Structures are given as C-alpha cells and as structure tokens.
Structure 1
Amino acid sequence: MATRFTRQQRLIALLLPTCLALLLLSQPTWADVKQEDRQDSQPESCYVDDLPDRLRCGAIWVPENYAKPQGKQIQIHYLILPAIKPSFEKEALLAIAGGPGQSAIDNAASFDKIFTKVRQQRDILLIDQRGTGLSNQLTCEGAGFEGGLAFNDDELDIAAETKACLAKIDADVSQYGSETALKDFEAVRQALGYQKLHLYGISYGTRMAQLYMRHYPEALATVTLDGVVPMQQSVLNIGDAIGRAIDLLIQDCQGNALCHQEFPNLKAELEQVEALLSQGPQISQTRDPLTNAPTQLTMTRAKFMGAIRMALYMPNVRALLPHAIHQAAEGNYQAIMGLYALTVNSTGIAAGMHSAVVCGEDWHRFSKDERQQIGQSYFGREMLKAFDLSCPIWHIPAADASFAAPIASNLPTLVLSGQIDPATPPSWGELAMAKLTNAKHFVAPYATHGVAYQSCANTLIAELIGSGSVDGLSQECLSKDISRNFYLNANTVEAIPQDTLSQAKLNDDQQQGARHD
C-alpha cells in the first residue's frame, strides 16, 4: 500500500507523516544499528505534495567518511519520477538542485513540470545530497520571517551564531563537500542499475554536474548546465552579478516609457535609500503581512538590499521592484517588506551544508587583490565579512587547487544562461565553455535564474536527451519576448500595447471560428 509524504515547506520545516519520513522514523539511529543490519531500502511506492502520480522512493547507506568505510554510516535518500512509457529503462535524468543546500526531493513538483517531455520515456531521478533534505540534513534553526521584521540585522553576532549552529550538528562537517557527495550520487546510480544518466544541474547543481563530468564521464550520456557556476569561479563572486542585475533592472525601467514616466529617478532613489540605511536602521510600526498583527519594522540596509536581491530571481516579483524602491525613497517600506516576506523563507537552504561547501571550496580561493575587488560591491563585501567570521569556526579543509580547473569534456552539453540573471550571468556560461568541445551556450534574453523554468529551454533539453547531440539545437525559441510588465503602483501594471491586444483578439476570433468549423 502506498504511503503519502509531504514536502518540507521552510528551511527548518518539520516532516509530516510521509513515505520518506516514515522510512526515517522506522530506522534506528546509526549508533543503534549494527553494521551487518544496515541494508539499502528497495524503492517503495510513495507520493509527494502537488503530484498525483505514484512515485518510488528509497535510500542507501554510505560511509560519512569514505576513508573510514567501517565508521559512521548515513542514509542518502532518492526519489524516482517513473517514466510514463518506459522506453529506456537503463537511463534516467538526474536533476541536481542548487544552493548549495537545497533538497532535490522538496522540488519534485517543479522538476516534474520542467521535464514533462523527458519523463514520457525516461525516469527522473532526484537525490537529496548529503546534508540536505532527508539525507542527514545539516541545518541551523533561525528566526525565519516570524520575528524577522523587528530584528536588527546589524546586531547579528555571526561568530556566536556559527558556534551555536555547529554545536547542534552531529556530523563530521568536513565530509559534506561536493566531491564526497558525488560518490553518493554514483552509488545511487549503481544501486538502481542505471547504465547512463542524463544530467541537469541548476545553479550550484551545475558544479555537481561538472564534477560528475570530470570523475565519472563513462556514466553520462548528456549534460545540461542551467545557470552555470563554472569551476573556475567562486560562488562568492556573486556580488558583481547582483550589481549587474540591479543595473539591468534600472536600464529596463528607463527604456520602458511608462516605467520611466512613473519612476524617472529610480537609480537616485535606490542610492538615496541605501545611503539612509547605511547610517542606521529605520524603525516604524507596521502590520505583519502574514498575520496582520501590529509589529515593529526595523528596516536595515541588509534587509532592504536582501529583499531586492531575492526579488531579482523571479520575473514576476522583479516587476514589482521599481514601485517598491520608489515607495521606500518616500519613507514607505510596506512594499519592500512584502517582498521580504515573499522571499525570506523561499530558498530552503540547509545552512550547515551550505557553509561546509562554501568554506571548503570557495572561501580559500581569493588573493588579496581579488578580495579588494570583491569588496567594492555591497553584496561582495558583506558576503566576505560573513564567511571570514564563520569559516574559521567551521574549519573545513580547503579543496585542492585542481578543483577549480575548467572541465574538459566531449560529452554533448547544453549551457543555459539568463540575460538578467542576478546570480550566474552569461559571462559565467562562457567561462564554463572553455574546454567543452561538444557544447552550445544559449542565452535567454528575458530569463533570470533557471532558464528551463522560464522558457522553451525545457523543450531543448528534451531534444538533447532524445537525440544525444547538440548539433540540431537552435536557440531561436528563446528569443520570444516573455518579459513581465512593470507594476506602476500596488495594483496595476503598465498598459498592454494596443497592437498586442488587437493580435490577441484576432487569434481568439480565429480559434472560435476553428471550433465552429
């Protein structure tokens, strides 16, 4: 009999009675399990929220430290979205989540939507990377949104919070880097009997995909890197990417007649609010947008800029930013507070795993000159400061210098970049292409982060997997204008051009006639 399980909803969500949760609850802790009794579970029927299909879920045991195979064992959980008509039973698409620190299983419904065409003939495999989701999650409790409005970010003691987090984690955090996790992925593939994988990585997931290309190329058929973090690039270089995305937002508004008419001084207004908040937080009384209860709003520069940064990831939320920035410049933070509420718990990052990866693979990379360059942007400066305080406490050994070498591969590879991406700009895609000899790089002009979510790229991925070649792929469909209209106030967006309305009416009339015929 199939058992239902629900997805984690927040960074520190409690698991409700579910298929995978029941697997966890029915298993004793590692200390209570004898070595000979640790058996990998066979895939069982299960369900996830937002998907009506009967799926398959299971887990395998792996050493926490592969150098100590008889030592502590952890479980790596996976979920299979089975092919509708399984024509390729020995192949699967492995979709790798971002972060670092996001759960792939938590995002099953999104992956299913993207890969509807792929799933017609091939399984979709999701693995919760070690330290995330159900695979020995390394998370640290935090205030989240509740209480966050009144909290003064400027008073956060990062070192103390890091020590408190580390004290609660029962794991050897040095064993949660990308290359160790890759061994888990390959162990799952072998346990399930897949001869070939088609890889899809999004954001940090592209790092995992590139490492798979480096270490286990014989197991791969095709690769898609969506919003790529090239091996040569530290994720801490994201500061420049965020600044670029903000500049593009302002340019887009200036180039739009109605947005420019409504917000003619958007750049100056943004700088005005930043300057004010850099002097100290602005405190006012407001109502919680989730509960409507009276509360104090302590608007800090970190909170303001963080809300803008996260809004840039989503085209529909990005469209609200000119109005929100304009309102903030007039002393009204209600709109920006709403964006903060929308995004503060939207990432589902396991903070411990995130730090284990970044501190080992990214933080050590920078020379003094590179640090000075990164520190020229607000976001770069704040990220460096945070990791300079926390990484010495995590005490993660630095990855070998060879880790950052570009990936050399002849595997059929599709690289996707969003032109207005606030995290992984098109230049990062070009960097990833350095030694890929059988690859194409497509830039979607209207996409932010995650091109396959926002465009026809999901069809291109299906074509790549179906043909096993990039030769016939064309980026023409990516040029379709799917940009969002800007909100001119809290209720309305810019007017739709009359010719667009006329064309829509013509199309509707033609469809009505066709139905009558």
Structure 2
Amino acid sequence: MNKKIFILGLLMSLIFMGVLSACNSTDVTPTPTEVAVIEEATPVPATEEPTAVSTETAVPTETAAPTETAVPTETPEPEATATTEAEPTEAATTDTLFTFVPASCQFDEPVGFDVECGYVTMPETHADPENGRTVRLHVAIFKSDSDNPEPDPIVYLEGGPGADALETVPLVFADRFAPFLANRDFIMFDQRGTGYSEPSLACPEYTELAYDSLDLDLPQEEEIAMTVGIMQTCHDRLAEEGVNFAAYNSAENAADLAALRIALSYDEWNVYGISYGTRLAQTLMRDDPSGVRSIILDSSYPLSASLVTDFATNADRAFDTFFAGCAADAECNATYPDLETVFFDLVAQLDETPITLPVTNFLTGENYEALLGGDDLIGILFQSLYSAEIIPILPQLIYEVRDGNTQNLGLLLSSFMLNSEFFSIGMQYSVQCNEENSFSAPGEGEASIAEFPNISEAFISGAEVDDQVCAFWGAGEADAIENEAVQSDLPTLILAGEYDPITPPAWGVLVGEGLSSAFFYEFPGLGHGVSVSGDCPLSVTLAFLDDPTAAPDATCIAEMGGPAFEIAGAADEEITLVPFTADLSVAVVAGVVPEGWTDSGFGIFARGRTALDQTLILQQAVPGFDSAMLVELLSGQLELEGTTETVGSYETETLTWSLYELELQGLPVDIGVAEDDSYAYVVLLISSSEERDFLYTAVFQPAMSALNVP
C-alpha cells in the first residue's frame, strides 16, 4: 500500500460546504471531492487487506477445506456491442450480456479528467451463460491526454482480493494514475463482487464490528468466535440474496476481463495489475491471452506460492529488512539506536499493559477509543511496510510510542481502519478460500506462523478465523491448475519492492521463471505497489509500455538508496512564501502560502512532508457573514476542542483579526477571523505542538497580513 494520509483534507472540505449552507447560497454547488485526501495508495488503497477487529490484522491466510467444486476456466467469445438505452438500475437479460451500457459514474469524477462510465453484464458462471444468473461490472474509461492516443489502452486490475477500484478514484487518481494518460486511455473497473459492481460481497457487518470492538479486551477464543460469527451473518445474508460464492474466483474474474476487452471493442490492450491484480493477470495469461499486448505485474502473487504457509516468512523478512535498513543508515541509527530491540521491548510492554488511543472514522467523523496491545503494534508495523511514504517515519513513530506520544500512531491506525470501508471481505474469502485453502489443510497456517514467535501472536488468531470461515463459506474447491505456475511468452514487466511485507521480491523472481519474455526489477527502499511509489519505477513502467519487447531503461535504480528516514528534532524548514489565488465560487481570494505546499482546493494548502503530516493552512472569504459566527461554524464542523473565546488580536494594514486557539485530535489549531463591509475572512492553521510557534510566525501571521479579495 502506498499512501500519503492527507486525511484532514476530507474534514476541511466540510468547512466550505458548511459556510455555503449557512449563507443559504442557492446558485453555487461546489463539490468537496476536489480536496485531495489520500494519495495512493492504500494500499490504495487502499489495495490490500484492512486492519481487522481489535487485535488482528486481516490477511489472506485461509486454510479450511471447502467442499463445493465450480471453477470453469473457459471464456466464451462474445460479440462486442454497445447501447445507450439501459440504466444501471435495470435488470440484466441474456440479450445484454457482454454489452457496454453507458451510465453515470457512481463515484465522484476527479476534476480535470475526461471519463466515460458504464456497465457490462457478465454470466455469473462463464461456462453456463444460459442459466440466467449474471453479474454487472461498473467500468470507467479515462480518456488519454493525447489528441492521437495509442489504440491499445491500459486496463488496471485492483488488488485485495476484494479491494474496490472505483470508490477511491476521486482520492487517488490524479496522483497515482494520471501519468498513464499521456499516450493511452486508462480503464478501471470494479471486479465482480467488489465496489459498485453487482452484486457486492462487502460485509458492512464486519466493518461495523471492527470499529465497535476496538476498545474490547477479549480472550483470543472469544475474539475469534465474535469475528467468525459476524462473517457467518454476512455469509447468510449474501446467500439469501442469491450469491453463489463458488462463482467469485480468479478464473471467473479472468473470464470477465477477457470478455470486457471485446465488449469495449479493443483489439488489444495492456494489462496492469498490482498485488492480487497480478494473480488475476497471470490467470488471464493462462486462460485467454488473446488481445493482450503486454503485462505489468507489480508486487507479484504467484499461483504456485502459498499465502497460508509463506505469510509469516514474508512478514519476518520485511521486518528484518526494515530494522537492518535503519541500522545501516548512519543518521537513523544514531537517532534511533537498537531499533529492533526497542520495538520488541515495546511490544512486550504493551502486551503487559495495553494503552488506549483515539481512532477516528474519517468518513463518518465518529470517534472511538482503541485498546492497543503488543500484537496490534506488530500488525501496524506490518501494514505500514506496504507504503513507501510511511516507511521513512516508522523509526520516529516507534520511539514516539516508547516515549508516550501516540498521536501519530492513532492517526495511522485510523487510516488503516478506513481501508475496510473500501473493501469487500466477502470477495476476499470467496477467492482465497477457493484458491489457497484448496491446497492446504486446516491448521497449516497457524503452524507456519508459530515458527516466528516474535510476531506470531499478531497473526495466529487471524489464521484461525480464516480456517473457520472457509469451512462454511462455500467457495468451492479449486482445480489443480490454480496452484501451478503460469507459463507464457507474453511481454511482461515484473516489479518488486525491497520492503514489501506480503509479496516479497522472491515471489517476483518465482513468477518470472515461467515467463520467457519477462523483465524483473527490484526497487530499494520501496514497499508494495512500487509502480505508483516514485519517479523511477514509474519511468520504467512507462518505458516498458512504449516498447514491451525491449528492456526498459532502468538506470535510475542505481541512483536509488534506502528510505529517507525522518529524523525528529531536525532544524526548522526554510519557508519561502509565494502568492496564490483561489476561486471559492462565492469569492476569489488572494494571499501567500509556503512554496511547495499542495493546493487541495478551496484555499486549502497541505504541506505533506511525510505520510502523517497533517500541517495545513486554510484561507477563505465569505460575503455577508459575521466573523464570530464563522468561528462557531468552524468549531462545530471540525469538532474542535476548546472554547471559542478570543485570545488576542492581530492588526494588519486593512483589518483587525480576532485570534482563537483550539485543538483537533491533539493538534494545535490557530484561527484568525476578520471582516469588512463585504466579506468575513478566515485563516486557519493546523500544525503540531513541536512546530506550532515556528509556523505561527512564519506562515500564519503573514497569511493574515496578505489575505484579500482582489
């Protein structure tokens, strides 16, 4: 997972909407989706498994033995057609199979991109399309920036299995995928069982339990029983809705993909998968390679590997890589000595005496208290190693927690919990129970995890949950071919990250052994999803797309080093203020902002120095509004802590500003408001306690001095 967590951007978007509502504006309808929240990722997204209830991190380690058998691998050759008459809510018929039906995008379209959306109806079971059971895939085609794009688009395969591809588009597309539009269209779709596709195998019951059980301190047996029980509830609900769990696997998924190309009338395309998306791509290479120009496998998941027995080995390797990386970095080692010892001593301390920290659901604004033990800390470190943006701050984070500062840890846990909102865990169980558990016996996962006692307690209960859930899930038993390495001569690019905790570089090498036209590259200092984690892997990926038959220029890898570990107590940054203007619809404002801060829209600028950096400044003006009321509105919208009483004033050449000091989840919030005959003005700075005084002088006061409506 590869993520910068500009979570407060989502909250900040509420400010402008609230101001408009209070003003009773009727002629302007701005959308808060212009505010960047998550740059990804995470993991995607989030592309990977969400942190599960209380003390376990959900991972695909199912090991039960299902009994049903239904895994067809052949793909009918549909005729490509298109129609504009059907709406997404209409029932599908056999006449509309394999037909692209244009429809409104179900997600908020990111600003500045030309996107066409629709649905394609597929048979639930491709080997029996006449049985009348269907699934509908929601598809988005992002148009190339080129006036003369290449005829072969890129189709992106999301990970998981079970991650939603389209719901996070407004949050991540500009940062992650926009570069791919230079020469080609870029196609994204929600795979069967996920996101806006129908039916969805999401389990909101599980997500609700994950939040509601954060503060529970249960014996492991009770926690397992509670989780298994909620998955049984989800399973029974989906079964009553008519879901055939044995039809949600990679073979059917790949058949969807092959039919989708024909439905969209493309002669050939480039298939690009991350994480589970690479397993899906390999299944397509095996079952129906027609029309595939090239394959990109980022963070490879081999069919012949076992997540059941290899999971703990992969996690332990990544932990060793991380601790060794800091030890080998002179500055990191000097600032955070004996990091591995400090970490596991902290794990033992938290096992003995758990701590409580605040967690927020950033979609609903609800706050929770999480009880954090040592196994939870191990799970958080594991999940963090997905992200190239989070890895550099981990040594500092570990020492912060040791010293009693859990603010960033709570923010990180909140972010990981958010992943479950964009994830279909029912689809994950359908795929993994079929494709992993068919080739292992109950208890194998637990036994392999127990071989690593330092980390076993964080994962062993999850393996037991998976055993029990797979026993009743009804995902079917996979054919032997689903456990065999794929052989292909398709041009393939294989990318791997040194720190990847779930799909190690060795798995990329393993996949490449069966591919005669493959190029493999490992990138130092990066985690999971390397193609969207930096300029070097992106340039290699784009070069491969230009000519998949030739080795891409990868000389930039030699210039990469390990992670640029964040060092606490570093000298204050040098601030250079530059002018800006922002169109707020109700007013155009002008002022100054630090150079290099990211424009998130609506006069909001985020620093984003690290993945957890919540430093931002908001500068707005609202016509005909009382400044005191504006403070009350801001405080209510953001649920700020403290009293809305002035603590002083600040005089500029044209305005007298009233000053307020509040807090947001422990972060200092400085607010200045002023008004003239036409407008109420507001400047709001969110910072950290360590930097507050510096940024107050260097950024906040100059912003008040410069803000105006031209």
Match of 1:457 among 522, 537, 544: 537
**Equivalent residue letter for 1:61:** T
Q: 1:62 aligns with which of 122, 131, 143?
A: 122
* AA aligned opposite 2:250: S
Is residue 50 from structure 1 mapped to residue 50 from structure 2 by the alignment? no
CA drift at 1:132 = 0.7
* Contact in 2 for aligned 1:486/1:493 (Cα 8 Å): no
Letter matched to residue 215 of structure 2: A
Contact 2:100–2:263 under 8 Å retained in 1: no
SS of the residue aligned with 1:390? helix
Structure 1 residues 411 and 149, CA, compared in 2 at 3 Å: closer, same or farther? same
Residue among 177, 194, 209 paired with 2:249: 177
**1:402 CA displacement:** 1.5
Of 142, 147, 161, which aligns to 1:81?
Answer: 142
Q: Give the aligned partner of residue 554 of structure 2.
A: 475
- In the TM superposition, 1:343-362 aligns within 5 A as 343-346=416-419, 348-362=422-436
Range with bigger deviation, 400-409 or 323-332: 323-332
- What is residue 256 of structure 1 aligned with on the other side? 329
> Once structures 1 and 2 are overlaid, which stretch shifts more, 247-256 or 101-110?
101-110
Task: Say whether the 8 Å CA contact 2:255–2:284 is kept in structure 1.
Answer: no
Task: Look up the match of 1:410.
Answer: 489
1:162-185, Cα deviation, whole Å (9 max, x unpaired): 111112222111111111111111
Alpha-carbon distance change, 468 to 293 in structure 1, aligned in 2, over 3 angstroms? closer
**1:375 corresponds to 2:438:** no
Q: Does 1:161 align with 2:230?
A: yes
- Please tell me the residue identity of whatever aligns with 1:132: T
**Per the alignment, do residues 149 and 488 of structure 1 end up closer, same or farther by CA in structure 2, a change over 3 Å counting?**
farther
Distance 1:438 1:108 in 2: 32
Distance 1:271 1:118, change over 3 A: closer
Worse-superposed segment, 90-99 or 477-486: 477-486
CA distance in structure 1 between the partners assigned to 2:284 and 2:112 by the alignment: 32
**Cα distance, 1:112–1:401 mapped onto 2, change above 3 Å:** farther
The verdict on how the C-alpha distance between 1:380 and 1:476 changes in structure 2, with shifts beyond 3 A counting, is farther
Please name the residue that 1:138 is paired with: 201
Q: 1:431 to 1:211 in 2, by over 3 A?
A: same
Q: Decide whether the 8 Å contact of 2:312 with 2:448 is kept in 1.
A: no
- Larger Rg belongs to: 2
Equivalent residues in 2 for 1:199-238 (5 A)? 199-236=271-308, 237-238=310-311
* Structure (1 or 2) with the greater helix fraction: 1
Q: Does 1:105 align with 2:185?
A: no
Q: Does 1:186 align with 2:258?
A: yes
**Structure 1 residues 460-469 or 39-48, which shifts more?**
39-48
| 1:231/1:406 contact within 8 Å kept | yes
Q: For 1:192 and 1:102, locate their aligned partners in 2 and report how far apart those are by CA, in whole Å.
A: 23
Contact 1:100 1:357 in 2 (8 A): yes
Equivalent residues of 2:98, 2:122 under 8 A apart: no
* Alpha-carbon offset, residue 117 of structure 1: 4.9
* CA–CA distance in structure 1, aligned partners of residues 406 and 477 of structure 2: 42
**How far apart, in 1, do the equivalents of 2:316 and 2:481 lie?**
29
SS of the residue corresponding to residue 112 of structure 2 reads: strand
Q: 1:312 aligned to 385, 394, 397, which one?
A: 385
Contact 1:361–1:398 at 8 Å: present in 2 too? yes
Q: 1:380 Cα shift?
A: 5.3
**Maintained 8 Å contact 2:279/2:300:** yes
In structure 2, how many angstroms separate the alpha carbons of the residues matched to 1:212 and 1:60? 18
Q: Distance in 1 between matches of 2:144 and 2:228?
A: 47
- Residues 324 and 85 of structure 1, relative CA distance in 2, 3 Å threshold: closer
Cα 1:49/1:359, change in 2 over 3 Å: same
- Change in Cα spacing, 1:395 to 1:294, as seen in structure 2 (3 Å) is closer
DSSP 3-state at the match of 2:113: strand
* Range with bigger deviation, 344-353 or 479-488: 479-488
Secondary structure at 2:136 match in 1: strand
Q: For residue 364 of structure 1, what is the aligned residue in structure 2? A: 438
Aligned residues: 474
CA contact (8 A) 1:375 1:381 kept: yes
In 2, Cα distance between the equivalents of 1:248 and 1:212? 33
CA 1:57 to 1:408, structure 2 compared with 1: closer, same or farther past 3 Å? Answer: same
Check conservation: 1:488, 1:494, Cα contact below 8 A. Answer: no
- Work out which of the residue numbers 215, 220, 228 in structure 2 matches 1:150: 215
The DSSP-based 3-state class of the residue aligned with 1:462 is helix
- What is the aligned partner in structure 1 of residue 662 from structure 2? none
Aligned to 1:95: 156
In structure 2, distance between residues paired with 1:39 and 1:180: 14
User: What SS class does the counterpart of residue 251 from structure 1 fall into?
Assistant: helix
Q: Distance in 2 between matches of 1:159 and 1:191?
A: 39
SS at match of 1:222: strand
Q: Distance in 1 between matches of 2:418 and 2:368?
A: 19
Give 1:392-431 correspondences, 5 Å limit: 392-431=471-510
The unaligned stretches of length 5 or more in structure 2 are 1-30, 39-44, 47-84, 574-710
CA distance in 1, matches of 2:134, 2:388: 42
* Distance across 2 between alignment mates of 1:34 and 1:253: 58
SS at match of 1:416: strand
Q: Could you report, residue by residue, the CA deviation over 1:101-158 in whole angstroms, capped at 9, with x for unpaired residues?
A: 1122235464564454542332111121001111122111123775454244744222
Kindly indicate whether the alpha-carbon contact (under 8 Å) linking 1:117 and 1:459 is maintained by their aligned counterparts in 2: no
> What letter is aligned with 1:73?
T
- Is the 1:5–1:48 contact (alpha carbons within 8 Å) kept by the matching residues of 2? no
In 1, Cα distance between equivalents of 2:367 and 2:506: 45
- 1:334 is displaced (CA, Å) by 4.1
Would the alpha carbon gap of residues 340 and 483 (structure 1) be closer, same or farther in structure 2, given more than 3 Å must change? Answer: same
Q: 1:441 aligns with which of 515, 520, 529?
A: 520
Change (3 A) 1:423 1:24: farther
For the Cα contact (< 8 Å) 2:88–2:103, is it kept in 1? no
The amino acid that maps onto 2:486 is I
1:510 aligned partner: none
Name the TM-score, length of structure 1 as normaliser.
0.82
- Secondary structure of the corresponding residue to residue 275 of structure 1: helix
Describe the shift of the 1:198–1:26 C-alpha distance in structure 2 as closer, same or farther (beyond 3 A). closer
Decide which of 297, 300, 303 is 2:373's aligned counterpart: 300
Q: Distance in 1 between matches of 2:281 and 2:116?
A: 23
One-letter identity of the residue aligned with 2:229: A
Which residue is 1:499 aligned to? none
Deviation digits for residues 357-385 of structure 1 (CA, Å, limit 9, x no counterpart): 11111123236777633432325534422
Task: Flag the 1:454–1:41 CA change in 2: closer, same or farther, 3 A.
Answer: closer
Question: Which amino acid letter does the alignment assign opposite residue 429 of structure 1?
Answer: G
Where in structure 2 are the equivalents of 1:502-513 lying within 5 Å? Answer: none
Greater shift, 245-254 or 339-348, is seen at 339-348
Distance across 1 between alignment mates of 2:98 and 2:262: 15
CA distance 1:132–1:257, shift in 2 (3 Å): same
- Identity, % of aligned positions: 24
Are the counterparts in 2 of residues 198 and 223 from structure 1 also a CA contact under 8 Å?
A: yes
TM-score by structure 2 length?
0.61
> Residue 274 of structure 2 contacts residue 297 of structure 2 at CA under 8 Å; is this kept in 1?
yes
Contact 1:363/1:387 (<8 A) preserved: no
Change (3 A) 1:457 1:43: farther
One-letter amino acid matched to 1:189: R
